[in-house]
Structure 1
Amino acid sequence: MNSQRLAVTSAVTAIAPAVWGSTYLITTEFLPPDRPLLASTLRALPAGLILLLITRTLPRGIWWWRAVVLGVLNIGAFFYFLFLAAYHLPGGVAALVMTVQPMIVLLLSSALLKDRVRPVHVASCLLAAAGVALLVLQPHAGLDGVGIMAGLLGALSMASGIVLTKKWGRPDGTSLLTFTGWQLTVGGLVLLPVTLAGEDLPDHLTWGNIGGFAYLSVIGALIAYVLWFRGLSQLPALAASFLSFASPLCATVLGFLFLDQTLGPLQLVGAVAVVGAVVLAQPRTGRPTHTPSRPARSTTRA
């Protein structure tokens, strides 16, 4: 893959975490209050079922349990721990805790994919963590043990999903839409009983609520995860992981544009540091990327 194609692939893949960064704005401005589990379930399950209805393909053989594992790690568990952390931590602290994700990907890629750990990768991890800290961490931020643990488990869940996605690829003859639908459906089904047990359903929904849920499901899940899985199939695991930093960056920009939040000099420095870390971590022409051992079209997955 030449440098121009790598740049285009990275830019298109970054659209997914940038869209995810809009979740905070949509949630606070359009969704019913205090319903994070309901939002995560309606974000995953309808999108997954729509894709299954379109593709009409279910997993076969070993891919039944692989689809379950990937759906839980990439969608179900990740969403649950993400919202649990958001309940117990200020947004900035939660985002900062999640910056350990590329570091976990770095270690797992070395162990499971035999990727070589380069000094530039370590430097990128440290630069990105510092950038996010400047970008979102506010003075007097509260710390909570449950929130910190949830954030770490969420980072571990997503990192594991990224690396296993690269390792397993996707089965022969399975489209990207099908593969994405499996995972969104599994994630939504895992979240559904937790939501019903842990939250009361709202008494009524406004058109704004319905529009917010539709945005999360169609744009924030169906389209965004197709783009994410497509990019992950073509980029090294660590490079794709770094693109997730577009999420806090986008959330900060949207807060500035629509919620009257201010951007100070340190936040601007943090934004530049995050962008620099993402660019630094991207592969260069001629650098080998991991190719899954399976003969399946593993270069196309989520």
Structure 2
Amino acid sequence: MKTPVAQPVSLGHGGRLSSAAVTALAPAAWGTTYVVTTELLPPGHPVFAGLLRALPAGLIALALTRTVPHGAWRGKAAVLGVLNIGLPFPLLFLAAEHLPGGVAATLAAAQPLVVAVLAVLVLGESPSAWRLAWGAIGVAGVGLVVLGPSAALDAVGVAAGLASAASLALGLTLTKRWGRPPDVGPTAFAGWQLTAGGLFLLPLTALLEGAPPAIDGSAAFGYLWMGVCGGLLAYIVWFRGLATLPITSVAVLLLLSPLVAAVLGAVLLGQWLGPIQLLGFGLALAAIVAGQLPAPTWERTSR
């Protein structure tokens, strides 16, 4: 028997835009990862940083809600935790080691396109030229913002970057398909996945990086920020938004992460944007806004 797809809560246009604005706080928080990692955290331990971002936040959420997955949700929570959190971290770090940051960010920005395809294959939604076009514009915009003259391609890095984007896109799509149990709130749901992703990263951290680094005051603040704001709080609002908004609208919000990273680089590190980058910034913002609007009448009537 075919598993029913979880349906978004019905919202009016104003409510939908409000929900999108709140949900956007999650990718905005994730956009701070680059500056926090480069300026506050000890180098050479990116998987450990991912572990601290996920596992403590997940355990705190479980302690607060006192809710653990039961039955089939044990397996589902584990799968979603690996796809949404555990697997993308090492893949992103591998991509970052083999590619310039701009190339890695552009590959990550392809997630809305992958989600648009998966929405057809997994959720049975009708293909949308409107969504695909704006997704492509968003990727192009991010590329103009973050790609520099040193951009170069490396087979391992490209494969890791695309695999990370695919993992996140599949996790997002399956989260939408399965929904969450009716008696489970977004805090518990986020806790399940953060814990599962953190447990997945635990042996990887020991295997790849060995002993943890020395942690000073700046590093402690960085880990705390990533765990609380970039981990627990971000995923709570992310999964709450996914329950109320169309999946393609949520996916396009991911374009905010590289844009926030670019703004912080300009303001805090003096990495100012030139005219071409500002054009790309505008295109990516236009794609984000268009992703929150209904498809045009011509596409809806042609279905």
Which TM-score applies when normalising by structure 1?
0.92
**Does 1:223 find its partner at 2:233?**
yes
State the alpha-carbon separation in 2 of the partners of residues 269 and 201 from structure 1.
44
**Does 1:42 find its partner at 2:56?**
no
How far the C-alpha of 1:202 sits from its partner, in A, is 4.4
- The farther-off stretch of 194-203 and 234-243 is 194-203
The aligned counterpart of 1:8 is 18
- The farther-off stretch of 75-84 and 44-53 is 75-84
Contact 2:42–2:213 (8 Å) recurs in 1: no
How far the C-alpha of 1:79 sits from its partner, in A, is 1.4
Q: Deviations over 1:1-26 (max 9, x none)?
A: 21111111111111100110001111
The aligned counterpart of 1:75 is 85
The aligned counterpart of 1:30 is 40
Choose which of 125, 144, 147 in structure 2 pairs with 1:134. 144
How far the C-alpha of 1:105 sits from its partner, in A, is 0.7
How far the C-alpha of 1:185 sits from its partner, in A, is 0.2
Aligned letter for 1:221? Answer: G
Task: Show structure 2 runs of 5+ residues with no match.
Answer: 1-10, 298-303
Contact 1:236–1:283 (8 Å) recurs in 2: no
**Does 1:197 find its partner at 2:207?**
yes
Summarize the Cα distance change of 1:202–1:190 in structure 2 as closer, same or farther, 3 Å threshold: closer
State the alpha-carbon separation in 1 of the partners of residues 176 and 100 from structure 2.
32
User: How is 1:205-244 mapped onto 2 (pairs within 5 angstroms)?
Assistant: 205-244=215-254
Choose which of 63, 88, 95 in structure 2 pairs with 1:85. 95
**Does 1:113 find its partner at 2:101?**
no
**Does 1:95 find its partner at 2:83?**
no
Contact 1:77–1:157 (8 Å) recurs in 2: yes
**Does 1:125 find its partner at 2:148?**
no
How far the C-alpha of 1:284 sits from its partner, in A, is 2.9
Equivalent residue pairs, number: 287
In structure 2, the residue corresponding to 1:58 is in which secondary structure?
coil
State the alpha-carbon separation in 2 of the partners of residues 233 and 160 from structure 1.
16
Alpha-carbon RMSD across the aligned residues, in angstroms, is 1.4
**Does 1:65 find its partner at 2:78?**
no
State the alpha-carbon separation in 2 of the partners of residues 201 and 60 from structure 1.
34
The aligned counterpart of 1:143 is 153
How far the C-alpha of 1:198 sits from its partner, in A, is 0.5
Summarize the Cα distance change of 1:142–1:286 in structure 2 as closer, same or farther, 3 Å threshold: closer
State the alpha-carbon separation in 2 of the partners of residues 52 and 99 from structure 1.
31
Summarize the Cα distance change of 1:203–1:69 in structure 2 as closer, same or farther, 3 Å threshold: closer
Task: Show structure 1 runs of 5+ residues with no match.
Answer: 288-302
Which TM-score applies when normalising by structure 2?
0.92
